[in-house]
C-alpha cells in the first residue's frame, strides 16, 4: 500500500530556497507531481522555464493541466520505463536542469522495488524514483528530493546509494520537521544530487561479492504480536525489560519457543525504538533466554568482557546514538551495529 503525502507549501518553499541563487534553470520537472506544489513554487522564481509534470493519478494530471496551460503534463507510471515512451518528457533525457521530487515513500506491505534496467538491484520506492529521475538530469543540473531518513540509512537502500554515489554527489541539505506532512509523522530530509565531474556508466554485476563484517550480533526473532506460550520454551526478553542497564527477567510473558537463543553473559540492546544509555544492558546469569525481534545481543566468554563492551558504547555514546535512524521509529542496522562493536572488541583486547 502506498500512502500519498502531498508537499505542503512551507516545505516546497524550503526546497526552492536550497537551489543556488545564481542558478537559472531553463527546464524544471517533477515526475511525481501530486497536486503540483513543488512546480508551482518553482514557477514563481523561474517563470520562463519549461515545466514538465508527471503523476500516476489521472485526476491529478487533469487538475494540473487545467490550472497550468503552459506546462507539459503527463500521466504515467514513472517506475515503468515502457510508460515513459508516450509522455511529453520522453525526449528530455539528460536535458532537465532542475528536478524536484517528493516521491511516495510509505510502503506498508510492499516489497522492494526492482530497478528496471539493472538486474539484481532493488530498493525502496523513493530511491527507485530518484534513480529513474537522474536519467533526465542535465550534466550541470540539480536534483532535489524529499526522502525518508530510513532510505538514507537502511541496508535495503544501501546497494542503490552505492551505485548512485559512483557518479553523483549526494548531500543532505535540510532536515524536516517530523510533522511537516499533515497526514503522517515521518523523519525526512531534503537531499541534493548533482553530477560528478568525471563519471562512468552505472554498471551492476550481481556476481561481485562484497566483504561483510564478521557477524558478532544475534537478532531476536520473536514477534511480540504473535507470541505463543510453550512449556519447554525459554524466558523472553523484550526492550521493555532493558531498564537502567539491567535486564528484568520477572516479566508478564510466558516462556516461548524460538530458533534463536542466547546464553549469558551477553550484552543486550534495542534494535529499534528509543535508545538511551540505560537500554544497553548486561545479561549476567549463565542461562539461556530468547529475544524479541526488537532486541540484539552479543554473547561473550565472561562477564567482564560484556561490561567492557558496554563501557565502550557509553564512552562513545554520541557516535553510537547516531547509528539509530529511520523514517518512523529509529533503528540500527546489523551492519552498523557489527561495525561499531567490532571496533569495541578490538579496543579492549
| Whether pLDDT at 153 is above 90 | no
pLDDT at 268: 95
| Whether pLDDT at 330 is above 50 | yes
pLDDT at 185: 55
Task: Retrieve residue 74's grid coordinates.
Answer: 503527463
To 5 degrees, how large is the angle CA 217–CA 220–CA 222?
175
| Whether pLDDT at 203 is above 70 | no
- Our separate counts of H helices and E strands in the chain read 10, 22
Pairwise CA distance, residues 179 & 193, whole Å: 25
Task: Retrieve residue 36's grid coordinates.
Answer: 503540483
pLDDT at 207: 44
Which domains, ranges and CATH numbers included, belong to the chain?
Answer: 2-195 (3.40.50.150), 218-347 (3.90.220.20)
Q: Encode pLDDT of 268-300 as tens digits.
A: 999 988 899 999 999 988 888 889 888 999 999
Sorting pLDDT into bands at 50, 70 and 90, what band is 209?
Answer: very low
| Whether pLDDT at 210 is above 60 | no
Sorting pLDDT into bands at 50, 70 and 90, what band is 229?
Answer: confident
Pairwise CA distance, residues 285 & 173, whole Å: 47
Low-confidence winner among 77-91, 181-195, 321-335 (lowest mean pLDDT): 181-195
Q: Encode pLDDT of 59-100 as tens digits.
A: 999 999 999 999 999 999 999 999 999 899 999 999 999 999
Query: Percentage of the chain surpassing pLDDT 90?
Result: 46
Question: H or E segment at 41?
Answer: helix 37-45
- CA distances to 108, 160, 213, 242, 317 from 280, in Å: 30, 32, 22, 7, 11
CB 51 within 8 A of CB 29: yes
| Whether pLDDT at 213 is above 50 | no
Helical axes 125-134 vs 155-165, angle rounded to 10°: 10
Task: Retrieve residue 169's grid coordinates.
Answer: 554527489
Q: Encode pLDDT of 11-51 as tens digits.
A: 888 899 999 989 999 999 999 999 899 999 999 999 999 99
pLDDT at 221: 83
Residue indicated by cell numbers 551492519: 335
34: alpha, beta or left? (left if phi > 0; alpha if psi -120 to 50) = left
pLDDT at 285: 82
Which one has a higher pLDDT value, 79 or 229?
79
DSSP codes, 287-322: -EEEEBTTEEEEE-SSHHHHHHHHHHHHHTHHHHHT
pTM: 0.64
Taking residues 235-261, report their average pLDDT: 81
Task: Retrieve residue 119's grid coordinates.
Answer: 538486474
Residues 6+ apart with CB under 8 A from 292: 220, 222, 223, 224, 236, 237, 238, 239
Mean pLDDT of the chain: 85
> Which of 163, 219, 170, 161 minimizes the C-alpha distance to 194?
170
Amino acid at each position: 500500500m502506498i500512502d500519498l503525502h502531498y508537499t505542503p507549501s512551507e516545505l516546497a518553499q524550503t526546497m526552492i530556497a536550497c537551489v543556488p541563487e545564481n542558478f537559472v534553470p531553463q527546464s524544471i520537472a517533477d515526475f511525481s507531481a501530486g497536486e503540483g506544489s513543488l512546480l508551482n513554487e518553482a514557477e514563481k522564481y523561474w517563470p520562463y522555464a519549461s515545466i514538465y509534470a508527471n503523476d500516476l493519478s489521472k485526476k491529478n494530471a487533469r487538475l494540473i493541466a487545467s490550472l497550468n496551460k503552459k506546462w507539459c503534463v503527463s500521466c504515467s507510471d514513472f517506475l515503468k520505463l515502457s510508460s515513459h515512451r508516450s509522455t511529453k518528457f520522453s525526449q528530455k533525457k539528460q536535458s532537465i536542469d532542475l528536478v524536484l521530487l517528493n516521491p511516495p515513500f510509505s510502503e506498508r506491505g510492499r516489497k522492494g522495488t526492482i530497478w528496471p534496467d539493472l538486474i539484481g538491484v532493488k530498493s525502496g520506492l523513493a530511491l527507485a524514483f530518484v534513480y529513474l529521475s537522474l536519467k533526465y538530469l542535465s550534466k550541470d543540473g540539480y536534483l532535489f528530493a524529499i526522502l525518508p531518513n530510513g532510505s538514507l540509512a537502511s541496508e535495503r537502500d544501501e546497494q542503490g546509494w552505492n551505485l548512485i554515489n559512483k557518479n553523483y554527489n549526494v548531500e543532505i541539505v535540510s532536515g524536516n520537521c517530523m510533522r511537516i506532512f499533515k497526514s503522517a509523522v515521518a523523519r525526512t530530509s531534503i537531499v541534493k544530487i548533482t553530477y560528478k565531474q568525471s563519471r562512468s556508466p552505472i554498471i551492476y554485476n550481481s556476481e561481485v561479492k562484497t566483504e561483510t563484517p564478521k557477524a558478532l550480533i544475534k537478532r531476536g526473532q520473536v514477534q511480540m504480536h504473535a507470541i505463543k506460550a510453550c512449556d519447554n520454551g525459554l524466558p523472553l526478553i523484550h526492550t521493555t525489560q532493558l531498564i537502567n542497564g539491567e535486564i528484568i527477567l520477572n516479566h508478564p510473558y510466558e516462556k516461548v519457543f524460538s530458533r534463536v537463543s542466547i546464553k549469558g553473559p551477553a550484552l543486550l540492546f534495542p534494535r529499534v525504538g528509543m535508545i538511551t544509555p540505560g537500554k544497553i544492558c548486561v545479561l549476567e546469569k549463565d542461562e539461556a533466554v530468547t529475544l524479541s525481534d526488537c532486541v540484539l545481543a552479543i554473547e561473550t566468554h565472561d562477564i567482564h568482557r560484556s561490561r567492557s563492551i558496554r563501557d565502550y558504547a557509553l564512552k562513545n555514546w554520541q557516535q553510537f546514538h547516531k547509528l539509530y535512524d529511520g523514517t518512523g521509529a529509529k533503528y540500527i542496522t546489523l551492519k552498523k551495529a557489527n561495525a561499531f562493536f567490532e571496533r569495541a572488541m578490538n579496543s579492549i583486547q
